[in-house]
Amino acid sequence: MKWLGETKVTWLGHATVLIQTGKGTNILIDPFIEQNPKYPTDFQLPDQIHYCLLTHGHGDHTADAVTVAARHGATVVAIYELAAYMQAKGASQTIGMNLGGSVRLDDVTATMVEAKHSAGIQDEQGTHYVGVAAGYVLSVADGPVLYHAGDTAVFSDMKLIADLYHPQLAMLPIGGHFTMGPSEAAMAAKLLSPKAILPLHFGTFPPLKGTPEELAKLIGPEVFVVRVEPGRALTSGN
Ligand code: NI
Ligand code: MN
């Protein structure tokens, strides 16, 4: 994927993705590590993770956020209420933002975009309101534009995301049950017209039945559906 330039994208199972820019900025999205059955156990995270981005409060997207913040010095970026919750749980550096806004993360501009999904967080005290579910568009300076959709249904304003930001890589949930499945993701591909799709949120648990093969069959040859083992980086050379 030549258009990735010097940026590396590594899927770590479920919705966990590591982005590393050529300038050395490391961003981890939705850290689900200890309890993630698809996490590549031999994978070594970089010592320093500058930013940890959260799409919403559900445990399969936030379980290891405080640990990553502490061990790797990461600033946690999330919707305002979720950022405040993470701060209360021990993340010392946080950036709270909201839908439609952008923040500068060194050489990356992160824009928070809509997602259609629920978004509470559960702990010993019950379920807490932590804002709404979101996705992120990451525009790397002199590099690619990447879209991580978070957990979501397909929605027609994905066209707006395409018109505004032109993502080349769309990271989309395809497992079904809690998010869209392959047929909805095929429609998302039409709305987004990316160069490639990195399927997320499938196969982790038995109900998440959608597969990249089904998606590839539905959308045909014009959009490349990435099939990769967790832990193997996507680069300009593959
Ligand atoms: Ni969720
Ligand atoms: Mn999820």
Helix residue spans in the chain (DSSP H): 59-62, 65-72, 80-88, 158-165, 182-192, 212-219
Q: Ligand 1 centre and the CA of 117: distance in Å? A: 7
Ligand closest to Cα of 204 equals 2
Q: Which ligand is nearest to the CA of 200?
A: 2
pLDDT along the chain (238 residues), means of 10: 97 98 98 98 97 98 98 98 98 98 98 98 97 98 98 98 98 98 98 98 97 96 95 96
Distance 73 CA to ligand 1 centre (A): 25
Q: Determine the distance separating the centroid of ligand 2 and the alpha carbon of 23, expressed in angstroms.
A: 30
Candidates 99, 104, 95; CA nearest to 77 is: 95
**Phi, psi of 9, deg, nearest 5:** -125, 120
Ligand 2 centroid distance, CA of 187 (Å): 20
Give the pLDDT confidence score for residue 222 in this predicted structure. Answer: 84
pTM value surpassing 0.95: yes
Q: How far is the CA of 94 from the centre of ligand 2 (A)?
A: 22
Report strand pairing: 224-225 vs 196-200: parallel
Report the separation in Å between the CA atom of 105 and the middle of ligand 2, taken as the mean of its atom positions.
Answer: 24
Domains and CATH numbers, the chain: 2-229 (3.60.15.10)
Structure tokens at 141: 């300076």
Q: Which residues pair with 78 in a beta bridge?
A: 96
Å from CA of 13 to ligand 2 middle: 12
Which ligand number lies closest to the CA of residue 115?
1
- Cα 237 to ligand 1 centre (Å): 32
